[in-house]
Amino acid sequence: MKTQLIKRVPNMVAILAFLALLAGNAFAVENSSRIVSPYWQSDTTSYTFIAVSHTSLSGMASQIGVTVNAIQNDKSTFGSAISFTITSGTTERIFITRSGHSINSTVFPTANFIQGTTNFKHGHIRIDPVSTSPTSTTGGNSGPTGDGYRDATMLSFWGAVVIEQNTTGFAMEFIGDMHDSAATPSFDSGEGHGVTGPAAP
């Protein structure tokens, strides 16, 4: 038993080191206003799918703009960044595919596409807010007028890397979105997401 444990430790260290190197660039961005995902890939047999949902929670502006970049492991961009505005109660789809892929804007005309070379590429995802002041409300209160925070971290992100040959893949992790285990700290004004009232003394 002890021999097996000793044999496993170097393997675990090697795997953890590989994951740290692979995702290291993704964590260079603070998660109070941006969202990152440590891994995506695209080649002739795989693509990446991401969905972004506006959950219409109290405190959210009715429209929130984001810019999505697929950053390759050499720190260059894969294809062109895409920017879009997501409206309350809707979901936007993003595909990261190679040029000439069978999944394209003709097949899914309402989806967003980041397309690049046909060679195998991988890296991390960086999602930036379009708003210059995502921690400031667009009006006095949230509600039917669309007032609220234009904060991309209040959106819900999920996705998967899809391996087409055998219709498998694996889920992506998003850091900084509404599901992040490290919640966005209170804003300097003393108001949190969806929380109203006087600032703390």
DSSP labels for the chain?
Answer: -HHHHHHHHHHHHHHHHHHHHHHGGGGGS-TTT-EEEEEEEEBTTEEEEEEEE----TTB-SEEEEEEEEEETTS-BSS--EEEEEETT-EEEEEEEETT-SSSTTTSTTSEEEEE-SS-EEEEEEEEESSS-TTSBSSSS-STT--SB--GGGSEEEEEEEETTTTEEEE---BSSTT-SSPPPPPTTS--TT--SPPP-
Q: Which of 12-16, 104-108, 131-135, 193-197 comes out lowest in average pLDDT? A: 193-197
Residue 14 confidence (pLDDT): 52
Give the per-residue pLDDT at 1: 53
The span from the CA of 146 to the CA of 37, in Å, is 28
Token pair belonging to 101: 């892929």
Residue 155, pLDDT above cutoff 90: yes
- Model confidence over 18-73: pLDDT tens digits? 445 444 444 455 556 799 999 999 998 899 999 999 999 888 999 999 999 999 99
8 Å CB contact between 128 and 121: no
Greater pLDDT, 143 or 171: 171
pLDDT value for 195: 39
Give the confidence band of 8 by pLDDT, cuts at 50, 70, 90. Answer: low
Strand 91-98 and strand 112-116: the pairing is: parallel
CB atoms closer than 10 angstroms to residue 133: 12
User: For position 35, what pLDDT does the model report?
Assistant: 94
In the predicted structure, residue 187 carries a pLDDT above the cut 70: no
**How many whole angstroms separate alpha carbon 109 and alpha carbon 104?**
8
Q: Residue 190 pLDDT more than 60?
A: no
Kindly report, residue by residue over 75-134, the tens digit of the pLDDT.
999 999 999 999 999 999 999 999 889 898 999 999 999 999 888 999 999 999 998 887
> Measuring CA to CA, which residue among 86, 78, 88, 70 is closest to residue 159?
70
